[in-house]
Amino acid sequence: MPSPAADGPAAFVRAHRADLLARLGKLDLEPEVRRGDARDLSFLADGSVHLVVTSPPYPLVAMWDALFEGATSVAADDAGAFDAWHAWLGSAWTEVARVLAPGGIACVNVGDATRSVNGRFRCFVNHVEVARRLEAAGLEPLVPILWKKPTNKPNAFLGSGFLPTNGYVTLDCEHVLIHRKAGARRFPPHDPLRYASSFSKEDRDRWFTQVWTLNGARQGFEGDAADRARRDRTGGFPRELPERLVRMFSVVGDVVLDPFCGTGEAVAAARDWGRKGVGVELDKAVAEAARRRVGTKGPSPEALLRRLARG
């Protein structure tokens, strides 16, 4: 079997069309969004997930204060809030490690927080604490991605005008942490679904670099008034971010989990590229809205082959 071409899988898909259609027809690619708690993924068996793509609520970012305060009974202005809130998230990372298969990867998009607590302004480095807890759960760190969000804010600078020393660097990047379970994943020689999942040299060179510049996404949903009212309870990332991660770190037929599902972008990206997307969302109304948005049907084998061939 030939190696994947540098321009993507089109030639391979054409040459093996009948075999791929037969394989795709046997896969369960229907997306699933359920209401649940990321700290309890007991509906998933050990080692049953190949990729996790998620963005949890960020401790000490104001829009999630109520969630963390209600879950931990620790107020945002309490000196122990940072540790207590990350301990609450830590139970989810333990479950993520359990459900990941050997060689499976967890991609966690997390932003740091800046705010004044007890009259002192500081940065809370969420990405460091999440990385520490992922590693403590048994997931080995790989090189993370720095997601730079372009901003048009003319006055993003904080501090003392043009005088040193009391200015603050603008917080306009988030981290995509990448952690792996138990070393590199193994595949059968010349696995057809892996070959059909290949990407072009152009995409490889663009994706496997440490700094990504992608515009952010609007918060929440774009549906009716009830959906729009949920905007303050969800964070959003652009579809291209989970789409890249799904294609980089999974193959057709894999199970892709988002335990903090929110608007369902990661589940939708998995669906579109022939993976079994599973989303878990704590908020009942948000889970229902995400389920409507993502739907319950996977792509047809013919439609998926066309998408794979286009790359």
| DSSP result, 202-264 | HHHHHHSSSEEE-----SS--SSHHHHHGGGG-----THHHHHHHHHH--TT-EEEESS-TT-
Q: With left for phi above 0 and alpha for psi between -120 and 50, is residue 260 left, alpha or beta?
A: beta
Question: Which amino acid belongs to residue 91?
Answer: S
pLDDT at position 228 is: 47
pLDDT at position 157 is: 64
- pTM value > 0.85: yes
pLDDT at position 226 is: 47
pLDDT at position 195 is: 96
Q: Which fold has domain 10-158+166-291?
A: Rossmann fold (3.40.50)
Q: What is d(CA 60, CA 71) in angstroms, rounded to the nearest whole number?
A: 14
**β-pair partners for 109:** 176
User: Which residues are CB-neighbours of 240 under 8 A, at least 6 positions away?
Assistant: 214
pLDDT at position 26 is: 97
Whether 249 contacts 225, CB under 8 Å: no
Whether 83 contacts 130, CB under 8 Å: no
Q: What is d(CA 138, CA 231) in angstroms, rounded to the nearest whole number?
A: 34
pLDDT at position 89 is: 98
**β-pair partners for 141:** 179
10-57, pLDDT tens digit by residue? 999 999 999 999 999 999 999 999 999 999 999 999 999 999 999 999
Q: What is d(CA 140, CA 101) in angstroms, rounded to the nearest whole number?
A: 13
269-310, pLDDT tens digit by residue? 999 999 999 999 999 999 999 999 999 999 999 999 999 999
Residue 100 buriedness (CB in 10 A; 0-12 / 13-18 / 19+): buried
Q: Which residues of the chain have pLDDT under 50?
A: 225-231
